[in-house]
Chain A
C-alpha cells in the first residue's frame, strides 16, 4: 500500500518535472530576446531560439564555446562578467556581437548571476538586444544634425559678411555726409568772404 502510494507520488513528481521542463523550453523559445547562460568560467551552455535567429549559431556550433567567441570586444565582455559577479545584475552595456557569418551587430547586453540552492554563484544569465536599428537612426540623426549645423554656420558667415558690408557702407555714407557738410560750410565761409571784399 505504502509502496504503491510512493510510486504514485514519484510518478506525479516526474510528470511535474517534465511539465516544468517543457514550460521552460517553450518559454525560452517564445522569448523574443536572445538569452543564453554561461558557466562560471564563461562557457556557453544554453542558447534560446531568439539567440539562434540573431546570431545564426545553432547549439552544435556555439554551445561549449567561450563567451568571447560571440563578441568583438573580448576584454570588455570579461570585465562585464566580473561586474555581474560583483553586482549580481548589470544592465545596458553596449557591445558588438559577432554573428556566425562574422556580421557585426551592435547590441545592448544585460546579465544576472545564476545561483545554486546554497546561494553560491554557479554561472550567469545573459540577454542580448539588437540595437542596430536604433543605432542606425541615431547615426542618421547625428549626421543630419552635423549637416544642418554646417548649413547654419555657412548662413551665419554669409550674414556676417553682409552685415560687415552694409555696416561699412553706412559708415562710409556718414563719413561722406560729414565731408559734404564740411565742404558746404567751407563754401559758405568762402562766399561770405568774397561778398565782403
Chain B
C-alpha cells in the first residue's frame, strides 16, 4: 500500500464513530514492544503523526475512552510497516497482554462467554455488539455474531484471532479453529464467527 493510499484510508477510517478503552492501546503497545522492541513502537507513532493522527502510547490512560478508529488505524499502520499478511496474529496475541481479557475471564466457561460476553464487550467498546448465539458442547462448536461493527475489513481477521483465543481460554478441546462465516463487507447484516474443536 502506498503512503497516499494509506492516508486516504486513514482519513476514511477516522470518520467512523465509536470509542474503545485505553487499555486496548496498552495491550497493542505491549505486543509490539515484546515482538519487535521499543524502536518499532516509535515507528508506528511517527507514521501516525505523518498521517495526521498522532498517537503517543505512553500517554494513553487505560480507563479513558479513545476513538476505536485510532486503535484500528494503529494496527493497520503496523501491518503496513511490518508487512503482516493480515491481523489474525495480532488479534490472537493481544489477549495475552490484555487487562480487559483478564477481567473477561471471570466468565470462566465458554458457555458463560456466549451467554454474558456482551456485557463485558460493552465495558471496553461503546460500538458494535457482541452476541453469543449458540454453544453446542455435543457437536463441539459455538457461534458468535458481531453486529454494528464496520471499521475496516482487516478487523474481520483480527476478531477471528481474538475470539479464537477467548475460546481457547475457556473451552477444553483440541485443534480449535475460528472461521468468519458471514461478513458485513460481503453483504451480510453482521459478522458471524464459528468456532470448532475436537
Contact = CB atoms under 8 A, between A and B. Distances in A.
Interface of A: 14-15, 17-18, 21, 37, 39-41, 43, 45-46, 58-60, 63-64, 116, 120-123
Contacts of B108: 39-40, 116, 120-123
A45 B169 CA distance: 8
B85 interface: no
Nearest to B173: A41
B133 interface: no
A18 B96 contact: no
A39 B105 contact: yes
Given A59-B34, A60-B35, A121-B108, A46 B62 contact: no
A46 B97 CA distance: 8
Interface residues of B, number: 26
B142 to A, nearest CB: 15
B151 interface: no
A61 B175 CA distance: 19
Contact of A59 (B61, B63, B97): B97
Interface of B: 30-31, 34-35, 61-64, 93, 95-97, 99, 101-102, 105-109, 165, 168-172
A96 to B, nearest CB: 24
Contacts of A63: 95-97
Given A40-B170, A41-B170, A59-B30, A122 B63 contact: no
Contact of A123 (B61, B99, B105, B171): B105
Contacts of A45: 95, 101-102, 105, 169
Contacts of A122: 105-108
Contact of A39 (B31, B97, B169): B169
28 contacts: A14-B63, A17-B63, A21-B63, A39-B105, A39-B108, A40-B108, A40-B109, A41-B171, A41-B172, A45-B95, A45-B102, A45-B169, A46-B102, A58-B34, A59-B30, A59-B34, A59-B96, A59-B97, A60-B96, A63-B95, A64-B95, A64-B96, A64-B169, A120-B108, A122-B106, A122-B108, A123-B105, A123-B108
B195 to A, nearest CB: 15
B26 to A, nearest CB: 10
B93 A60 contact: yes
Contacts of B62: 18, 21
Contact of B106 (A15, A18, A116): A116
A14 to B, nearest CB: 4
